[in-house]
Structure 1
Amino acid sequence: MTTPLPNPSLQVTADHSLKQVEAPVYAPGFGEVLLHVKATGVCGSDIHFWKTGRIGSLIVEGDCILGHEAAGVVLQCGEGVATLKPGDRIAVEPGVPCEQCWLCQEGRYNLCEDVQFAGVYPYHGTIQRYKVHPAKWCHKLPDNVTYSEGALLEPLSVVMHGIKSAGLSLGRGAVVCGAGPIGLIALAAARASGAHPIVITDLESRRLEFAKKFCPAVRTYQVDRNLDAEGNAKKIRKLYGDDEYVAPETVLECTGVESSVVTACFTCRRGGTVMVIGVGRSIMNNLPFMHLSLAEIDLKFINRYRDTWPAGLQCLGGGILDLKPLVTHTYPLEKALDALHTCSDLSNGSIKVQIIDEAENVL
């Protein structure tokens, strides 16, 4: 196999460094396809791996190509691939489960302990030009869905799994904590799901202004750094009026920050659900256990997603969700390092940063 172009990649190292290096190009094996990655979104987890070297028990122990929010085009198919052909435009579902354990057998493959997840050491990710991936975990893009939108399917899947698990109700109040990419997608999805009224919170006024433009029906609340969790929760609850029934039944916590999780617990109405979607610290010491217990508030969590890509494609292709405005910054693959620096600095005003490769291939 020959490749007409080099394969630049962005790799994180065990000593918390980033480097742009040429990566090898592999031929697709049985059931695999070789992709040209056209778009990859930068995720907060990429920044975590760079800055801290770990997320919980997931530790960077060597060089690893980052990236898992991706879409591209099929260049070659390995033996046994019947569902795809060269030229097909696809979105990458980055987790490849073992399909043998009891969790996989139950259909809960997102909980598989032996999952090979792109961009999590030692499994190389999508911030490279060429990547081999199992055809089973590649999903065809409708003609009216761009590569950029296809790369947004991964964070959309996170939100869809969270919303399904939380059980949002039509015409019931909801809160979204955090106006970053996941929070804004959660806002759009909650609105499309019929939740009302919806309040979105954040520390940054600029992000709340963006949220208001992105979803004009939303109410915004800027978190007061001088108030504790209960104080902020009371002010959020006031936005719903005095009727306890109208108070938020569901809180989608999209930051993972401990103080925000605690605020979410005090914001939720009695008998409601707090769904933690954000990635946080390994240990949180200040959760209001007895408040949750006495109010019978369900505190729930998700791990990535399962069975979301087909529905996500319908949302984007069918016009149910328009997530294109979330992409505020794009960089060519050769400047992927700049993309991560932009994403890691909130002063740049980025929402979703994507790495785009417009190079042509003739494999």
Structure 2
Amino acid sequence: MPLLPEVNGHNGVKVKTSHPNPSIQVTADHQVKMVEAPVEEPGHGQVLLHIKATGICGSDIHFWKTGKIGTLVFEGDCIIGHEAAGIVLKVGEGVEGLQVGDRVAVEPGVPCEKCFLCREGRYNLCEDVQFAGVYPYHGTLQRYKVHPAKWLYKLPDTVSYAEAALLEPLSVVLHGIRTAGLSLGRGALICGAGPIGLIALACARASGAHPIVITDLEPKRLAFAKEFSPGCLTYQVNRSLDAEGNAKEIRKLFGPEGDEYSAPPAVLECTGVENSVVTATFAVRRGGVVCVIGVGKSIMNNLPFMHISLAEIDLRFINRYRDTWPSGIACLSGGILDLKKLVTHTFPLEKAIDALHVCSDLSQGSIKIQIVDDVEASLLS
């Protein structure tokens, strides 16, 4: 692959070109391509990373296939990827607490730290966030990436790069668990057995929730869920039933029909699919909480407003996460969670486009696909 001549990085910093930096970019016209990207020099407060592992997220596929998620629109070429971990190769001026050779997990969102939301500590709601892999901010599906040191977290030796790259989806779930308020000995329903749903299943089990039911349309994913978290109950969504009908069947798994107390007080909706959200509102106990974690379409027209109102169902939503990486690392390093089985496929960086195609094809049976880069990389000279 030919190298680019010396050019300016996206932040105007002069970059070096003596080291190959393959990257995966999505274009505004829904194409995906491998491009040699420039290598930026870390500025004040930044470090240069060698990205060792990046997980493929459903949002990466969505940006590729549709070009947008809500108001987030790809208006030009952009390197995707945001579930990442790597090793520090260079340290810019003003960086404290990190040095060359440190293994780190990447929190991909960099908020403005000036708005009232950032000042309140709700930085996940910052409207001026620079989020890796969302146009125009380049993501982690490249060999080398500059990132602010403040949003990197050192890894203990017991946490691998593959596990560390799962900290981003784990963070989504941790924020959802916190928002839904799961508790010891009280039932929980999880809608969707994709990667987020399965991590939610593991977290719900660790929280002490019981019983736990997880739903999906795909029987293979439900079988994986049973193996991944023995003791959970599964429900295959019945396409011939409406949302209320499926909810009625789901409730039977929690206790006798008509026993409102046995119905789940908390639901983690991990698909964002409108019909699944509606099912969740009928399945949850009156006065319960439905936390929508999944990303759905911009407008949902069929939410049962009066049912939600009369039952005083607390319908909540989350936007990414905040203050979750330290607790996520503690869960992995302390053995509270073991998520390694979720990584069903790995591809080298050079074959990342193949990985995207496998991830987008549900018949391939992948759960979490990661791109790994095991080449020896050094920019010290």
TM-score range relative to shorter protein: over 0.9
2:89 matched residue in structure 1: 75
Equivalent position of 2:7 in the other structure: none
Q: Indicate which of 263, 270, 295 corresponds to 1:279.
A: 295
Q: Quick one: which amino acid aligns to residue 233 of structure 2?
A: R
Selected match of 1:262 from 234, 256, 278: 278
The RMSD of aligned alpha carbons is: 0.9
Q: How many Å separate the matches in 1 of 2:328 and 2:272? A: 23
Query: Residue 8 of structure 1 aligns with which residue?
Result: 22
**Residue 124 (structure 1) aligns with:** 138
SS state at 2:39 partner: coil
What is the alpha-carbon distance in structure 2 between the residues aligned to residue 361 and residue 198 of structure 1?
44
Which position in structure 2 is the counterpart of 1:190? Answer: 204
**1:245 to 2:258 alignment:** no
Spell out the pairing of 1:26-175 with structure 2 (5 A cutoff). 26-175=40-189
Q: Note the residue ranges of structure 2 that are not aligned, 5 or more in a row.
A: 1-14
Residue among 324, 336, 345 paired with 2:352: 336
The counterpart of 1:176, out of the listed 190, 198, 201, is 190
Q: Is the 8 A contact 1:91 1:139 kept in 2?
A: yes
Aligned to 1:35, the other structure's residue is in SS state: strand
Query: SS at the partner of 2:323?
Result: coil
1:208 maps to what in 2?
222
Which secondary structure state, in structure 1, belongs to the residue aligned with residue 40 of structure 2? coil
1:16-44, Cα deviation, whole Å (9 max, x unpaired): 01000100000000000000000000000
With normalisation by structure 1, the TM-score equals 0.99
Query: Which residue number in structure 1 is paired with residue 364 of structure 2?
Result: 348
**Which amino acid counterpart does residue 68 of structure 1 have in structure 2?**
H
Deviations 1:31-59 (A, max 9, x none): 00000000000000001100110000000
Q: Equivalents in 2 of 1:4, 1:250: separation in Å? A: 54
Residue aligned with 1:10, SS = strand
Structure 1 residue 277: Cα displacement:
0.1
**Counterparts of 1:314 and 1:5 in 2: how far apart (Å)?**
35
Matched letter for residue 106 of structure 2: V
* Whole-angstrom CA distance in 2 between matches of 1:260 and 1:184: 16
Q: Distance in 2 between matches of 1:143 and 1:318?
A: 12
* Alpha-carbon distance in 1 for matches of 2:59, 2:151: 21
- Sequence identity, in percent? 77
Q: Deviations along 1:297-342, whole A, 9 cap, x unmatched?
A: 0000000000000000000000000000000000000001011111
Asked if the contact 1:329–1:352 (Cα under 8 Å) also holds between the matched residues in 2, the reply is yes
Residue-pair matches, total? 363
Deviation of the 1:7 alpha carbon: 0.3
Q: Provide the secondary structure at the position in 2 that maps to 1:293.
A: helix
Structure 1 SS opposite 2:357: helix
Alignment match, 1:308? 324
Q: Which of residues 317, 341, 345 in structure 2 aligns to 1:325?
A: 341
Q: How far is the alpha carbon of 1:245 from its aligned partner?
A: 1.3
1:226 aligns with 2:246: no
Using the alignment, how far apart are the partners of 1:67 and 1:14 within structure 2? Answer: 16
Q: CA contact under 8 A between 1:41 and 1:151: conserved in structure 2?
A: yes
Measured against aligned partners, the alpha-carbon deviations of 1:67-118 in whole angstroms (never above 9, x if no partner) come to 0000000000000001100000000000000000000000000000000000
> 2:30, 2:64 within 8 Å by CA — same for their partners in 1?
yes
Is the 2:16–2:41 Cα contact (8 Å) retained in structure 1? Answer: no
Secondary structure of 1:261's aligned partner: helix
Alpha-carbon distance between aligned partners in 2 of 1:146 and 1:5, rounded to the nearest angstrom: 25
What SS is found at the alignment partner of 2:208? Answer: coil
Partner of 2:8: none
Contact 1:74–1:88, Cα closer than 8 Å, also in 2: yes
Query: CA offset at residue 362 of structure 1?
Result: 2.6
Q: Are positions 1:288 and 2:269 aligned together? A: no
Report the TM-score when normalising by structure 2.
Answer: 0.94
Cα offset, 1:5, TM superposition: 3.7
Report if aligned partners of 1:159, 1:186 keep a CA contact under 8 Å in 2: yes
| Counterpart amino acid of residue 322 in structure 1 | D
Contact in 2 for aligned 1:4/1:361 (Cα 8 Å): no
Q: In 2, Cα distance between the equivalents of 1:170 and 1:12?
A: 43
| In 2, Cα distance between equivalents of 1:245 and 1:318 | 34
CA contact (8 A) 1:327 1:352 kept: yes
Mapped partners of 1:338, 1:344: distance in 2: 10
- SS of the equivalent of 1:149 reads helix
| Mapped pair 1:217 → 2:252 | no
Q: Residue 295 of structure 2 aligns to which amino acid in structure 1?
A: V
